[in-house]
Amino acid sequence: MKLVIAPRSAKSRKFPITLDLAGTPSEVTVDQVQAAIAAKFPQFYPDRQRLTVDKVALDSGKTLASYNLKDGDSVTFKDLGPQLSWRTVFLVEYGGPLVVHPIFYYLPSLFYGKDFEHSWMQQVAFVMVMLHFLKREYETVFVHRFSHGTMPLRNLFKNSAHYHILSGFNLAYWVYGPWNAAGTDLATRSDAFVYGCIALFAFAELSNLHTHFTLRNLRPPGTKIRKIPRGYGFDLVSCPNYFFETLAWSAISLLTLSWSAHLFLVVAVGQMYIWAIKKHKGYRKEFSDYPRGRKAMFPLIA
């Protein structure tokens, strides 16, 4: 069959082109079309392509007949620009705080003009932050399976700013400053309070890790199979991983009593709630037997 690949922009010099594809519309898949385009223009590898018909995106794995395309029809091509794998994106995002926090913690004279002894609160906060992002890096490499392969390179800077600035520079500067040093009133915490924050943090991080393993086990390697997640946390909400992450950052916010930690908590929870609502609606739309009693992110609330 023949398929015309039309450009989204009228200024395109490479398109339109006509592809000769072996098979009928019920046999030819979107992947084969993308591979044929990449064969003619190697710079447009499949992850960089967006193909649409009547503004509906063509999904990988589906046949052309699924979109009522026939011999001689056309689809619209858009170049999504250079792409990065999501694994690389997460490694860069979470790597920022892992570099920023030790610099502020171990080299205070560079930022505050003097050396000083860190308080117990600062020491515990530093360990919490480092463990959190080391865990995220571990999950990125060994746990997560990504349903979407790539993200546009241009989005990396926007996504990284959230972590590098809010939970990196901003949090580190205000938490590790001399106003929170050993012996200061601002850093004074009772033993019970500190250990309570540690316990909440440990519970939240381990629970979050557990939910990530649950999600990982839903999708066999190399597939895009989607199932209803069940078990610990998922019986109450669609996104318990976000709920437990909220608890972890709440522990850091309570421990430090820093406006910078409170700011990051509010921004992070707001963003996670938006993602949770989207995933919750997606689950309910996709699965007719999805549990009705589940909330999106906060048990019994929303």
Instruction: Tell me if 302 is assigned to some domain.
Output: no
Q: Is residue 159 part of a domain?
A: yes
Say what the pLDDT of residue 222 is.
66
Give whole-number Cα distances, 92 to 40, 111, 135, 152, 245, in Å. 32, 24, 14, 14, 19
**123 domain-assigned:** yes
Amino acid at 216: R
In terms of domains, do 42 and 131 share one? no
In this prediction the pTM is 0.84
> What mean pLDDT value characterizes the chain?
93
For residue 296, being part of any structural domain is answered with no
Domain extent for 6:
2-80
294 in a structural domain:
no
Number of compact structural domains in the chain? 2
Same domain assignment for residues 188 and 221: yes
Q: Are residues 200 and 282 in the same domain?
A: yes
- Nearest to residue 115, comparing CAs of 174, 176, 188? 176
Mean pLDDT is lowest, of 79-83, 132-136, 158-162, 219-223, for 219-223
Q: What is the pLDDT of residues 235-266, one digit of tens each?
A: 999 999 999 999 999 999 999 999 999 999 99
pLDDT tens digit sequence for 160-169: 888 999 999 9
What whole-number distance in Å separates Cα of residue 249 and Cα of residue 246? Answer: 5
Q: Are residues 88 and 75 in the same domain?
A: no
Examine the domain organization and report whether 183 and 93 are in the same domain: yes
Q: Is the dihedral of CA 260, 300, 200, 195 positive or negative?
A: positive
Position 81 scores a pLDDT of: 87
Q: What is the pLDDT of residue 286?
A: 93
Could you say which of 48, 80, 112 is where a domain stops?
Answer: 80
Confirm if 76 and 104 have CB atoms less than 8 A apart: no
Dihedral pair phi/psi, residue 50, rounded to 5°:
-130, 115
> If pLDDT is split at 50, 70 and 90, which confidence band does 145 have?
confident
More confident residue, 157 or 124: 124
7: domain CATH number is 3.10.20.90
Same domain, 156 and 256: yes
pLDDT at residue 148, as a whole number: 62
Confidence of residue 186 (pLDDT cuts 50, 70, 90): very high
The 10s digit of each residue's pLDDT in 25-83 is 899 999 999 999 999 999 998 889 999 998 888 988 899 999 999 999 999 999 888 88
